Every structure is written in C-alpha cells, then in structure tokens.
C-alpha cells in the first residue's frame, strides 16, 4: 500500500494527498490575504473611513469567510486524513485535521456491498469539483439504508482494492451484500 495509508488492526488511516504547488500557493496567498485584511480592518477602526458602515461590515465578513475557507482547504491538504475503523457492530468514517473532526457511524448489519468504485457524476457542479480536489466523495463505496456512502478520496484503484479487502476481512459477511 501507499505510504500515505496506514493499517493498524481495526483502523485504516488515509492521509490526504499532498499537492505541494497548491499548498505553497495557498499558504502564501493566505498570508498576504490575512495581512491585507488586518490592515484594512485597522484602518477602518483607526481612521474611520467614509464608506457606509454596512458596506464595510459586509466586506470584512466576506474577507473573513474567504480566509476561513482557504485556511480549511490548506489545513485539509496539509494535515487532513480519513480514518476508517470498525468495532464488533459499527463501521466508523472520520475526517480529521490535526486530530479534530467529525465521525459518521454505520451499523455493520446494514452495511452492504462494500466495493472499490470510481468517481461518477458530473464534475461541472460544485460537488463534482470538490470530488476532483479530494474534498468530498471517494473511490470506495458501500450501501447503507438505501443510500450510497463513499470514502477514500483520491486513492488509486489498487489502493482502494487493498483497503476493501482488508475491511471485508474485518467486518465479515455484511460487506458482501448478503443479509442476516
């Protein structure tokens, strides 16, 4: 398996793929954006610019929203990872940045058809663009309660197949599509 994938018993960790040119660009851009925004904020507070307060507040809120989004993307690509773990009765998917994140828990008896699967759908939508950059979706899929869930963002096909093989060995017959 790839060096960005770690298998430890009931836990598989998939580090985000590092796009170094993008990480460097976003890091520099974020630093300049932050300095510019702080400078504008201080000049607003200290010099009382003649622009209407509502326009200035909207600009500051917009600046902060853009800065937070770019900071999140940068943190994900620099330090993010997907953690897939199993217990006796649960499959747990977690996206983490520096140990913090959200988990989705699925009862194993309802997890069906675990498989390596390609990316589908249009890439000309917002959600499609997130898939291309590894911010959503994934190439490993399973069905639970009538919905398809995905993980394993930007994995190669052989990596996805290895993870599926490992998880099937851990979670047993539920992953192959059979029912109780």
* Per-run averaged pLDDT (10 residues), the chain, 180 residues: 71 87 93 88 70 75 92 92 90 93 92 80 51 65 90 84 87 54
> Under DSSP, is residue 3 helix (H, G, I), strand (E, B) or coil?
coil
> Under DSSP, is residue 117 helix (H, G, I), strand (E, B) or coil?
coil
**Percent of the chain that is helix, strand, coil (3-state, to 5):** 45, 25, 25
* Amino acid 173: pLDDT: 57
* Amino acid 68: pLDDT: 94
> Under DSSP, is residue 67 helix (H, G, I), strand (E, B) or coil?
helix
Distance CA 84, CA 32 (A): 36
* Amino acid 154: pLDDT: 77
pTM: 0.75
* Amino acid 74: pLDDT: 93
For the record, the structure tokens of 156 come out as 């190669």
* Amino acid 178: pLDDT: 44
Burial of residue 133 (number of CB atoms within 10 Å: 0-12, 13-18, 19+) = middle
The answer to whether 130 and 89 are in contact (CB under 8 A) is no
* Amino acid 95: pLDDT: 92
Which candidate, 61, 81, 70, 80, places its Cα nearest to that of 27?
A: 70
Buried b / exposed e over 64-87, threshold 16 CB at 10 Å, is: eeebeebeebbebbbebbbbbbbe
Vertex 120, ends 69 and 19: CA angle to 5°?
Answer: 40
What residue has token string 């520099």? Answer: 28
* Amino acid 81: pLDDT: 93
Q: For 2-156, where are the alpha helices, taking DSSP H only?
A: 20-47, 53-79, 126-132
* Amino acid 169: pLDDT: 84
Distance CA 13, CA 96 (A): 10
């Amino acid at each position: 398996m790839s060096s960005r994938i770690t298998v430890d018993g009931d836990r598989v960790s998939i580090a985000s793929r590092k796009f170094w040119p993008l990480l460097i660009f976003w890091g520099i851009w974020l630093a300049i954006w932050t300095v510019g925004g702080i400078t504008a904020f201080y000049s607003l507070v200290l010099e009382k610019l003649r622009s209407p307060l509502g326009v200035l507040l909207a600009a500051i809120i917009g600046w902060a929203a853009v800065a937070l989004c770019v900071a999140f993307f940068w943190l994900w690509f620099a330090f993010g990872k997907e953690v897939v773990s199993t217990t006796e009765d649960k499959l747990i998917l977690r996206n983490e940045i520096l140990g913090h994140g959200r988990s989705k828990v699925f009862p194993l008896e309802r997890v069906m058809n675990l498989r390596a699967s390609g990316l589908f759908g249009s890439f000309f939508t917002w959600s499609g663009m997130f898939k291309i950059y590894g911010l959503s979706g994934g190439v490993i899929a399973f069905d639970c309660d009538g919905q398809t869930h995905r993980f394993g963002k930007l994995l190669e096909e052989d990596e996805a197949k290895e993870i599926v093989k490992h998880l099937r060995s851990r979670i047993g017959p539920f992953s192959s599509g059979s029912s109780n």
